[in-house]
Structure 1
Amino acid sequence: MSDVSGSELRALMARVPSVEKVMASAEFAALVDEYGRSQVLNALRDALDAWRISAKAADAAASPPLSALDTAGLHESVAAALRQRNRSQLRSVFNLTGTVLHTNLGRALLPDEAVRAVMGALTQPANLEFDLATGKRGDRDDLIDELICELTGAEAATVVNNNAAAVLLTLSALAAKKEVVVSRGELVEIGGAFRIPDIMSRAGAKLREVGTTNRTHLKDYDEAINPNTALLMKVHASNYAISGFTKEVGIDEIAPLAHIRGLPVAVDLGSGTLVDLSEWGLPREPTVRETVEAGADVVTFSGDKLLGGPQAGLIVGRRDLIAKIKKHPLKRALRVGKLTLAALEPVLQLYRAPEKLRERLTTLRLLTRAADEIHGAALRVQPALQQAIGARYTVAAEPMFSQIGSGALPVDVLPSYGLVVRMTDGKRGGRHLLALEKQLREMARPVIGRIADDALRLDLRCLEAPDEAQLIAQLDAKTGAQPGTPTDGN
């Protein structure tokens, strides 16, 4: 391929419209109104620079005539670039993974009451740290600590930005430079960075392991207590299970021992729940109230898992210990803002009417959704998906199992229904399924499923109206596009 001759290149460049002329056009004026002059000007210059580079590198005969790069063509290119640049990186997706409380997809979805409260806090001043009764500065914890105590039976409460922060703050305030006794079977890791031993170290506390991985006895705790012991700690193993020859010491046994020895007991419940989930046919988890009543002096748990609220770490317990925790310098660094508090309060208020909780709390509604209802959704979505992806694939509505959450009862499953995509010819999907999965992720509203057993699986447990209608409409718009059909190479 030969380069464009000097005279031809100069002629091409001479026909490039001036930046000011293009910016003065009606089409670009509309872009300026939407995106601002600076952004549009930079995008236009980038587009013209790209064209110049392409023209210099192209063959003279193959170069498109410059008339093709008219104002309309530039407008389309620049508008596309501006849309891409200004598209939010945090986007709504269809969670068809089968994991309801998916850590990577934002965990719990908030009920309408919480959404409205957040909108109010976003658009209007609020009494975040202002005591309306006295007209003086207030404590942001005062907004919800009474409600938390009502629901948990604790004497006091405080809130930080997540449960890892709650554990870190508790240990920093109550056990710095002293020992914390924990069973080896409870030294959990949640996610990629939350390990109990690491959190203990960052808090300045010294871990004192007792028992073995599968069996720990009360005497193990008793024998570990010494003058440098700050507290005894239990960690709820919410993300794994040990079966077989096992022994675990309950809080009802540890608490009396600790209190006789003049020590507090801290319990990290992890996901945490305020109600007995077995009432709705879900696996039973110890509630925060039960843990407090069993003798725990401090309990930490998450706000965005089984509780069904925003990301937060709640700390409840004895009034004197919570006061000490709140006075620690880390509390200010780990405190929550007005949006978290605005969302958390209405979620907690829903628990005052447990008989209405299933219909009002989004998380509980999704977890208890009937398989027959999900099956109906699968039958309605199946034709649209089949039409959108073409004859290379076969889409079938099949039963499957959902997962409650990666950090909340991950070993427990729920009967569900979904769509299973396989190769029509019966062969292994390989790169074709990967390409299809990728193209679904690249849709206007990304569709997130999972590949397992040579099939793309889309669990519809979390697909409720009106999202179901939106997904069908999005798939209908793709009909004929044949996503996921890379060149075979043969």
Structure 2
Amino acid sequence: MTIPVSAASAAVEAQALLRAIPKVDEALAWLSPAGSSAAAPARLTKIVVRQILAECRRDILAGRLRRPEELSRERLLPRLAGRLAARLRPNFRPVINATGVVVHTNLGRSLLPETAAANLAAVAFRYSNLELDLETGKRGSRYSLVENLLCELTGAEAGLVVNNNAAAVLLVLQTLAAGREVVVSRGQLVEIGGSFRIPEVMARSGARLVEVGATNRTHLRDYERAIGADTALLLKVHTSNYRISGFTAEVAAGELVELAARYDLPVMEDLGSGSLLDFSRYGLEKEPTVQEVLKAGVDVVTFSGDKLLGGPQAGLILGRRAIIEQVKKNPLNRALRIDKFTLAALESVLRLYFDEEQARAEIPTLRMLTTPYAEVRRRANRLRRRLKDLPPESCGLELVRVNSRVGGGSLPEMPLPSCALALNPRKLSLNQLEKSLRRAAIPVIGRIENDRLLLDLRTVADREVAELAAILREVLA
């Protein structure tokens, strides 16, 4: 078979290019004088070099690399140095949240106050009394470090903290209702992010679900008709991530408690995004607080630590001492327990709640949720002024009124009036601008809306304004 001249020529050229690929040691030598690998382990540097050279080899064989100069030191060194710098950068790193979503699930949910960050640092590189009672010198319980605080703040008899609210719900149901029936309203069988569904968690716990009522209306008589010899408890789930409006009815916690008492049954309520603060005082939508639910007589309450509470990821279980003690003794509790970092952060956050104004000022989630529009507007103006000398042909800039969101499945219908800097790039597409900001040294995450990239200043801290301006200037230049 005769090989066409063009194909033979291409094969010869490819072989010549393959021979021109630098050797690994040669490429490593390029990096050394540039100082790019000064802080890089030799093993990682060699991995990066081999990756780049392998990519060159594949590009040659696929016909994508055809010029010898593409294999020169001048062309390959920046590529090698850039890849090495990217590998040295942590995968898990801070970003600037300019989406306007306060409790952003994808961006780490609630931010911790500075006191919590300091407490984390204090216990991170020193030994601690995690399970040592300093008074007696004997082994202690890690839960005791925050249990008293939780009880004093909420009025609960006892408390327990596990690694998230899904774990809290699972643990309580498995303790109190494994192999038995749990009665819950059909309209409260919610699904939240990550496909976490109440019915599936109940099934995993070993409890048997008994649905009552209709999707939009459930009455006290529905619960009472479902109670039988195998009923373990009545469950109420706060639909924090959605709302049913119109012709609706649901049973208040107090009514459910009275019914359960007649049958000697406990009542459990999953608050989801539980709060210790009454947000209606600050012009936001009314949400039941943990204190109110416990005061209504609910026997056990579960909620998240990293949503409206403004703390670390955790699942809090509060209620009657007899029930909490049962839950603590469940062997599954050990698999779900929190570590010393969660404890350190949670304790710091809880201590701030003894002074509501201090909590609102120092807990970032509370501060962002209750910041007036005028203050957000002033912050946006400061950002705009820092960009005033940008050439108008690079990007149009405008301050616009928008609505922020609480996020995290909390207060889903509660818009927060906010101010955003709207970017209308002239030299980049919106998608290119969004991508460039997302790939900056400190990534900036905004949102595209109405053919503009919006940077919502409600979720940008005062200390981040100068940093954000510098990143914008670099990207837009």
Tell me the TM-score normalized by structure 2. Answer: 0.90
CA distance in 2, matches of 1:385, 1:64: 40
2:32 aligned counterpart, secondary structure: helix
> What one-letter code is carried by the residue in structure 2 that aligns with 1:27?
S
1:457 paired residue among 451, 454, 458: 454
CA distance in 2, matches of 1:59, 1:171: 59
2:220 paired residue among 218, 221, 224: 218
CA distance in 2, matches of 1:147, 1:55: 65
- CA drift of 1:18 comes to 5.2
Higher mean displacement: 364-373 or 279-288? 279-288
Judged with a 3 Å threshold, the aligned counterparts in structure 2 of structure 1 residues 59 and 46 are, in CA distance, closer, same or farther, namely: closer
- CA drift of 1:304 comes to 0.6
What's 2:41 paired with? Answer: 36
What's 1:320 paired with? Answer: 322
What's 2:358 paired with? Answer: 356
2:50 aligned counterpart, secondary structure: helix
1:209 aligned counterpart, secondary structure: strand
- CA drift of 1:138 comes to 1.8
1:292 paired residue among 291, 294, 297: 294
1:275-298 per-residue CA deviation (whole Å, 9 max, x = no partner) reads 222222222211111111111100
> What one-letter code is carried by the residue in structure 2 that aligns with 1:63?
P
What's 1:95 paired with? Answer: 97
Contact 1:211 / 1:217 at 8 angstroms: preserved in 2? yes
Contact 2:425 / 2:433 at 8 angstroms: preserved in 1? no
1:124-168 per-residue CA deviation (whole Å, 9 max, x = no partner) reads 111112222222222110111111111111111000111111111
Is 1:202 aligned to 2:204, yes or no?
yes
- CA drift of 1:417 comes to 0.8
Contact 2:36 / 2:85 at 8 angstroms: preserved in 1? no
2:458 aligned counterpart, secondary structure: coil
Contact 1:31 / 1:40 at 8 angstroms: preserved in 2? no
What's 1:229 paired with? Answer: 231
CA distance in 2, matches of 1:255, 1:279: 27
Task: Show the 5 A alignment for 1:134-283.
Answer: 134-283=136-285
Higher mean displacement: 87-96 or 166-175? 87-96
2:429 paired residue among 413, 425, 432: 432
Contact 2:307 / 2:408 at 8 angstroms: preserved in 1? no
Gaps of 5+ in 2: 1-5
Task: Show the 5 A alignment for 1:69-80.
Answer: 69=73, 75-80=77-82
CA distance in 1, matches of 2:176, 2:336: 16
RMSD over aligned Cα, in angstroms?
A: 2.9
> What one-letter code is carried by the residue in structure 1 that aligns with 2:105?
T
1:447 paired residue among 444, 447, 452: 444
Contact 2:99 / 2:446 at 8 angstroms: preserved in 1? yes
- CA drift of 1:312 comes to 0.5
Tell me the TM-score normalized by structure 1. Answer: 0.88
CA distance in 2, matches of 1:52, 1:257: 74
- CA drift of 1:63 comes to 2.2
- CA drift of 1:17 comes to 6.0
Contact 2:153 / 2:353 at 8 angstroms: preserved in 1? yes
Contact 2:56 / 2:65 at 8 angstroms: preserved in 1? no
What's 2:464 paired with? Answer: 467
What's 2:372 paired with? Answer: 370
1:469-489 per-residue CA deviation (whole Å, 9 max, x = no partner) reads 100011122243xxxxxxxxx
1:181 aligned counterpart, secondary structure: strand
> What one-letter code is carried by the residue in structure 1 that aligns with 2:444?
V
Judged with a 3 Å threshold, the aligned counterparts in structure 2 of structure 1 residues 96 and 399 are, in CA distance, closer, same or farther, namely: same
1:130 aligned counterpart, secondary structure: coil
Higher mean displacement: 441-450 or 26-35? 26-35
CA distance in 2, matches of 1:75, 1:436: 26
2:32 paired residue among 27, 33, 44: 27
CA distance in 2, matches of 1:389, 1:53: 42
Judged with a 3 Å threshold, the aligned counterparts in structure 2 of structure 1 residues 474 and 405 are, in CA distance, closer, same or farther, namely: same
CA distance in 2, matches of 1:99, 1:148: 28
1:355-392 per-residue CA deviation (whole Å, 9 max, x = no partner) reads 32221111111111121122122233346668779637
> What one-letter code is carried by the residue in structure 1 that aligns with 2:45?
V
CA distance in 1, matches of 2:66, 2:143: 73
Contact 1:288 / 1:299 at 8 angstroms: preserved in 2? yes
Judged with a 3 Å threshold, the aligned counterparts in structure 2 of structure 1 residues 107 and 389 are, in CA distance, closer, same or farther, namely: farther
Higher mean displacement: 397-406 or 131-140? 131-140
Contact 2:359 / 2:366 at 8 angstroms: preserved in 1? yes
Percent identity among equivalent residues? Answer: 48
Higher mean displacement: 403-412 or 132-141? 132-141
Gaps of 5+ in 1: 425-430, 481-490
What's 1:483 paired with? Answer: none
1:107 paired residue among 109, 125, 128: 109
1:346 paired residue among 344, 348, 362: 348
What's 1:418 paired with? Answer: 420
- CA drift of 1:65 comes to 8.4
1:215 aligned counterpart, secondary structure: coil
Give the paired residue count.
471
Higher mean displacement: 387-396 or 467-476? 387-396
CA distance in 1, matches of 2:190, 2:310: 23
CA distance in 2, matches of 1:65, 1:281: 62
Is 1:45 aligned to 2:50, yes or no?
yes
CA distance in 2, matches of 1:278, 1:129: 39
Higher mean displacement: 106-115 or 77-86? 77-86
CA distance in 2, matches of 1:388, 1:25: 37
1:329-356 per-residue CA deviation (whole Å, 9 max, x = no partner) reads 2111111111111100000000011132
CA distance in 2, matches of 1:85, 1:403: 34
What's 1:427 paired with? Answer: none
> What one-letter code is carried by the residue in structure 2 that aligns with 1:190?
I
CA distance in 2, matches of 1:102, 1:284: 21
CA distance in 2, matches of 1:81, 1:192: 32
CA distance in 2, matches of 1:24, 1:461: 48
1:248 aligned counterpart, secondary structure: coil
CA distance in 2, matches of 1:165, 1:344: 17
